[in-house]
C-alpha cells in the first residue's frame, strides 16, 4: 500500500506562531480503488502540559530531545481524511472552523485547493466531538456547512456529548468543549445517522472502538481485499510519546487508563495486520506505517 504521492499545495504562507509549516499539507494513498487523502485544517498551539503533565519528567526528557520538542509549547498538525471511492466523497471529521484557534480552521481553503466545495461532500463521519473535529460543522450563519452530506457519529459518543450533565462533569478546562459540541450537534440532530463499534458505516469502512480519548471515540478501518488502512483520529494522538511510550497517560485524554489500554490494542492490531495508519495529529499529512522500536514503536513515512 504505497503512497501515491505526497505534496504541499500552493498557499504555503506561514501560519501565526508556526513559521514554515505549510498551510495546505496533503498526503495521499490508495486502498484498492479507493483514494485516501489528508487535507489540512492548519494546526493547534498547545501548552506542553496539555499532553505531558501526567508523564514522568525524567523519562520524558530524552524523548523531547529525540524529537526536538519543547515542553512548553506544541504545534500539532490537524489532518482530516478525505475518502473517495468514485461514488462517495467522505470527510472524517469537520475541522475546527473559525472559532477555536487562529492557527486552525483552513479546511475550506484546503478543499478548494483540491477543487472541492462543501457541497461535494457526501458524508461527514466523526471520530469524536472535540472542538478541532466538530466545530467546523457550522457555517458563518450557524447552519450546517456540508449541506449535501449525511452526518454520522458513533452512538456512544453522541450520547456522551448530548447528555446535559456532561458540561458539569467534564471539568472546567473542557467545559467549553461540551457547550460547543452540543450546539453543533443540535444543528444536525434530525439528520444524524448513528452507528456502533464493528458496524460497516459505508462500503469497505468499518467502525473500530477506540475509547478513552473521549468516551465514544471511533477509529475506522478502510479495507479492499488484503489492502487496509486505519483512520485513528486522536486514539494515537502524536508521533512521539504515544509511539515511544503508549502505556503512559496523556493529559489530552479524558479517560487516561482506557486511552492507554486502547493504544495497546490498536498497536497490536496495526502490527499484526501490517496496517498503514492515518492520524489526525501526525506530521506531514499524517499517513504512514508503524515499526517496532525499543520497547515501543516509531512512525515511518515514505516520500515518493
304: pLDDT strictly greater than 70: no
Distance, in Å, from the CA atom of 280 to the CA atom of 96, rounded to the nearest integer, reads: 12
Q: What is the pTM of this model?
A: 0.92
Q: pLDDT per residue over 162-189, tens digit each?
A: 999 999 999 999 999 999 999 999 999 9
Q: pLDDT per residue over 97-117, tens digit each?
A: 999 999 999 999 999 999 999
pLDDT confidence bin for 226, thresholds 50/70/90: confident
Instruction: For helices 175-188 and 155-162, give the axis angle rounded to 10 degrees.
Output: 110
Average pLDDT, the chain: 91
Q: Cα separations (Å) of 161 from 133, 158, 165, 179?
A: 13, 6, 9, 9
Q: What are phi and psi of 255, to 5 degrees?
A: -115, 100
Q: What is the mean pLDDT of residues 273-291?
A: 97
Q: pLDDT per residue over 188-215, tens digit each?
A: 999 899 999 999 999 999 999 999 999 9
Domains of the chain are 3-300 (3.60.15.10)
Q: What is the mean pLDDT of residues 74-87?
A: 96
The HSE-up count of residue 30 (CA atoms within 13 Å, CB side) is 6
Q: pLDDT per residue over 5-44, tens digit each?
A: 444 333 333 333 333 334 565 799 999 999 999 999 999 9
Amino acid at each position: 500500500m504505497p503512497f501515491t504521492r505526497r505534496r504541499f499545495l500552493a498557499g504555503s504562507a506561514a501560519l501565526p506562531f508556526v513559521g514554515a509549516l505549510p498551510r495546505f499539507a496533503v498526503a495521499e494513498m490508495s486502498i484498492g480503488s479507493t483514494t485516501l487523502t489528508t487535507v489540512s485544517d492548519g494546526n493547534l498551539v498547545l501548552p506542553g502540559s496539555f499532553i505531558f503533565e501526567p508523564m514522568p519528567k525524567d523519562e520524558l526528557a530524552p524523548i523531547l530531545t529525540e524529537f526536538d520538542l519543547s515542553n512548553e509549547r506544541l504545534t500539532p498538525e490537524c489532518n482530516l481524511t478525505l475518502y473517495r471511492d468514485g461514488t462517495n466523497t467522505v470527510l472524517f471529521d469537520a475541522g475546527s472552523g473559525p472559532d477555536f484557534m487562529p492557527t486552525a480552521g483552513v479546511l475550506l481553503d484546503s478543499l478548494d485547493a483540491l477543487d472541492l466545495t462543501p457541497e461535494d461532500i457526501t458524508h461527514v463521519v466523526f471520530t469524536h466531538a472535540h472542538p478541532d473535529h466538530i466545530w467546523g460543522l457550522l457555517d458563518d450563519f450557524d447552519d450546517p456547512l456540508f449541506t449535501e452530506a449525511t452526518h454520522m457519529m458513533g452512538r456512544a459518543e453522541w450520547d456522551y456529548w448530548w447528555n446535559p450533565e456532561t458540561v458539569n462533569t467534564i471539568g472546567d478546562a473542557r467545559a467549553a468543549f461540551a457547550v460547543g459540541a452540543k450546539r453543533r450537534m443540535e444543528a444536525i440532530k434530525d439528520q444524524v445517522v448513528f452507528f456502533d463499534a464493528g458496524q460497516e458505516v459505508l462500503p469497505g469502512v468499518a467502525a473500530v472502538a477506540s475509547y478513552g480519548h473521549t468516551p465514544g471515540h471511533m477509529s475506522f478501518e478502510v479495507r479492499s481485499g488484503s489492502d487496509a488502512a486505519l483512520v485513528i483520529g486522536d486514539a494515537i494522538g502524536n508521533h512521539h510519546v504515544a509511539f515511544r511510550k503508549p502505556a503512559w497517560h496523556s493529559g489530552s485524554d479524558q479517560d487516561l487508563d482506557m486511552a492507554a489500554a486502547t493504544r495497546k490494542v490498536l498497536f497490536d492490531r496495526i502490527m499484526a495486520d501490517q496496517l498503514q495508519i492515518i492520524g489526525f495529529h501526525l506530521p506531514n499529512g499524517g499517513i504512514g506505517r508503524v515499526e517496532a522500536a525499543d520497547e515501543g514503536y516509531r512512525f515511518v513515512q515514505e516520500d515518493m
